[in-house]
Structure 1
């Protein structure tokens, strides 16, 4: 797309041709969008507003047990045990918590998508996340404004398990919610970790793996 293209979605025709082969044309859709903003800035840290990137409701309540489905098997976090929407501080880092109520999407489920971040020179990406159906070790691709990229390793703990090496338990809750039943065990958690960035470069985006077990709750750039 040329510089200055307005935000929106655009159809793009892609044609592939080769000698002694049929010509094939397919249409793809390209989305042009602005980067996310900082929901709040504390001590120079940017609590990223992921509002438009949330794509999965992972919370429910005992009274409305079928509202969410975090793990794909009808279990969810208890919305009443999560922070209200807005700033929340864990381990000295301020994050922007999503709305846990109703059927609002409140997790970014990793499906290979890119998250456009507020541009800046940062040393760490602080991640609050959890996985389901087992812990995972994966790679997140960081894109910089100079066109370079780097892969950073992330190990995400299962929400009903312990914190993997290199991460900490940010929030522990005594139970979860099962659809059609209400309060159910075992205890569940959210985990935090810091992913190293190249502070000499301006971050532009991160690309997530295509693994929907990986669920992001909050991101802060420090």
Structure 2
């Protein structure tokens, strides 16, 4: 990444080129960070209020001040028995197929789940499984953003989760329609651990991992089921977390 005009008073982005082409969004795709590329940022002494200001060019977790639809509000959850399955904003492709192992990268080191050993996309028990082929996202990373829910009075958030590069322990903040909040711990065992470390249930298990270099290592990896309590007397509308790299 270069900014040839950078100077103490030249700090405002005028335009950006990615691999030689004009780029109008205010964020860079994960594929660029994973596979590499050239980013040239043209900066100046005054703000360019025309660059990357269209709604489609804003980050998906940006909440407009005006009364317009919020980009990452989810579709209504899908009833599944006593539960309601929620589709989230999937931003990481952590699954690959045997014939396209380079398409997934869950841990930032090139490893991913094998699609052939995961449930088919669609309803699965009380969850909805996202697509597992191609390069579309199928994991929702916790980057400190607000994750919107279908508003409802829930006993708990039942989550399918995993962690990479070691166990992870964070605290979720649940926000309710009246503006109040509650907090609950979220403890997640590393995906390659032989067994859960925090009492999670192994929801999905695969007998190998794929790597972007075209190999598989035969290491068992898991997705865990956890339950995060909420207050059923209040209408939950979202949850947030501290930024977590894994």
Matches of residues 175-194 of structure 1 in structure 2 within 5 Å? 175-194=208-227
- Measured after TM superposition, the shift of residue 31 of structure 1 is 2.4
Residue 216 of structure 1 corresponds to none
Give the equivalent residue in structure 2 for 1:210.
243
Q: Name which of 54, 63, 88 aligns with 2:99.
A: 63
Equivalent residue runs for 1:1-222 within 5 Å: 30-32=62-64, 33=70, 35-50=73-88, 53-89=89-125, 94-161=126-193, 162-213=195-246
- SS where residue 210 of structure 1 aligns? coil
Cα 1:37–1:44 change in 2 (3 A) is farther
**What TM-score do you get using the length of structure 1 for normalisation?**
0.77
Q: How far 1:39 moved relative to its partner?
A: 4.3
Gaps of 5+ in 1: 1-24, 214-222
Give the Cα–Cα distance (whole angstroms) in 2 for the partners of residues 95 and 88 of structure 1.
5
Q: Distance in 2 between matches of 1:192 and 1:207?
A: 19
In structure 1, distance between residues paired with 2:95 and 2:226: 22
- Cα RMSD (Å) of the superposition? 1.9
Q: Which residue of the partner structure matches residue 41 of structure 2?
A: none
What is the aligned length? 182
1:60, distance to aligned residue in structure 2 (A): 1.1
Stretches of structure 2 that go unaligned for 5 or more consecutive residues are 1-46, 65-69
**1:66 partner SS:** helix
**How far apart are the structure 2 equivalents of 1:39 and 1:176?**
31
- Distance in 2, Cα, partners of 1:83 & 1:95: 11
| CA displacement, residues 174-212 of structure 1 (integer Å, 9 cap, x when unaligned) | 111011132213110000011111011000100122003
Is the helix fraction higher in 1 or 2? 2
User: Secondary structure of 1:151's match?
Assistant: strand
Q: CA deviation at 1:38?
A: 3.6
SS of alignment partner, residue 108 of structure 1: coil
Larger Rg computed on CA atoms = 2
CA distance in 1, matches of 2:76, 2:238: 14
Runs (4+) off by over 6 Å: none
